[in-house]
Amino acid sequence: MGIWQFIQEQILGMKWLNEVIGFGLSALGLDVSGRIGGSIQFFLYDVVKITILLCFLIFVISYIQSFFPPERSKRILGRFHGIRANIISALLGTVTPFCSCSSIPLFIGFTSAGLPLGVTFSFLISSPMVDLGSLVLLMSIFGTKVALVYVLLGLVIAVAGGMIIEKMHMEKYVESFVLSAGSVDIESPDLTVRERLIYAKEQMAETFKKVFPYILLGVGIGAVIHNWIPESWVETVLGNRNPFGVIIATIVGIPMYADIFGTIPVAEALLAKGAQLGTVLSFMMAVTTLSLPSMIMLRKAVKPKLLGLFIAICAVGIIVVGYLFNAVQYMLI
């Protein structure tokens, strides 16, 4: 237990880094217990910590992903039927792109290849919501139990959502160009270890360039919340005294566009200010899964009725998960 706590706090959480930054800022004459000094410390600590974890995670996940190109993933999914296909699809989503806008082209490709619509939607839900990066980052901030339960419930939403769409036979609400596109079966060449490492390095650099601005924005917002927003304000809107906090957090999160790396600092600051755990996790899920830009992209591939059903399933699932986390928060943190 002591060893795991050390890993969680000092390796994943990098508490030592926070102390080093605080010591350095104090040496420069800044009061880290004040608003300005505290904001700067929060900003520098979270940016450096998330950047280090981000680059490491993207490299490792991209290396794993090199074994699962779209055509191989399609063949894997084609071997399964029923709920097993939804489960495998949701699990495959954990080793694919980090945001919903990146997942949609793969969703279109899988649907064009003739995979069942419910199976492809399980992938579309899980990919931005519960990737492996979110698991490690959540562990670094909220602890192991919260991270594991978050990922498990995210997978449940993905599997259940895909099955509901499958049972409702919504294929006629997919745009015709997607269904008629067909697919080209191109065998992936067997990559060498060196080629996989190069691929992982390139993916790390490309993803980092896209994600880093959202990290800066998310950490900046988190720093403001952490040091400038009165705790009573957050508790009033998102604390246990407001039974609609989860719904508000979900609705506020939907129009935003970010990924898990940009939303975690905001969630961390909200939790520290008195927001309930399930409420901040609902906000994270809504931002990463139902962002407005990704819904606009998805509308190009599906008709309004299917898009509305997808949003409704995800929103209801996120809200249920939020209230569930709030109910058992005392057991998790």
Other Cβ atoms closer than 10 A to 80:
15
Q: How far apart, in whole angstroms, are the C-alpha atoms of residue 100 and residue 287? A: 10
How far is it, in rounded angstroms, from Cα 112 to Cα 176? 10
Domain boundaries, the chain: 2-180+212-332
227-281 pLDDT, tens per residue?
888 878 888 888 888 899 999 999 888 777 666 677 888 888 888 888 999 999 9
Instruction: Report how far residue 31's alpha carbon sits from residue 43's, in angstroms, rounded to the nearest whole number.
Output: 15
Q: Which tokens in the block code for residue 131?
A: 């990737």
In the numeric block, the tokens 């699932």 are attached to: 317
Is-contact 239 276, C-beta < 8 A?
A: yes
**What's the average model confidence in pLDDT over 140-144?**
82
Tokens of 157: 């939403």
pLDDT of residue 186: 46
pLDDT average, residue stretch 156-164: 94
Is the model's pLDDT at 315 over the cut of 70? Answer: yes
What are the distances in angstroms from CA 303 to CA 68, 171, 176, 279?
29, 10, 10, 31
Phi, psi dihedrals of residue 96, rounded to the nearest 5° = -125, -170
Run of H or E including 236: helix 231-238
Residues 16 and 225: their CA atoms lie apart, in Å, by 23
Half-sphere exposure of 50 (CA within 13 A, CB side): 29
| Percent of residues, the chain, with pLDDT higher than 70 | 92
Distance CA 92, CA 132 (A): 10
pTM of the full structure: 0.78
How far is residue 25's CA from residue 212's CA, in Å, rounded to a whole number?
23
Separation CA 149–CA 154 (nearest Å) = 8
% of the chain at pLDDT higher than 90: 27
Please, which pLDDT band fits residue 188 given cuts at 50, 70 and 90? low
Which token pair is 245?
């906090």
SS3 174: strand
CA-closest candidate to residue 313, choices 174, 158, 171, 173:
158
CA distance 86 to 316: 19
How many angstroms separate the CA atoms of 98 and 55, rounded? 12
Q: Which helix (H) or strand (E) holds 225?
A: helix 193-228
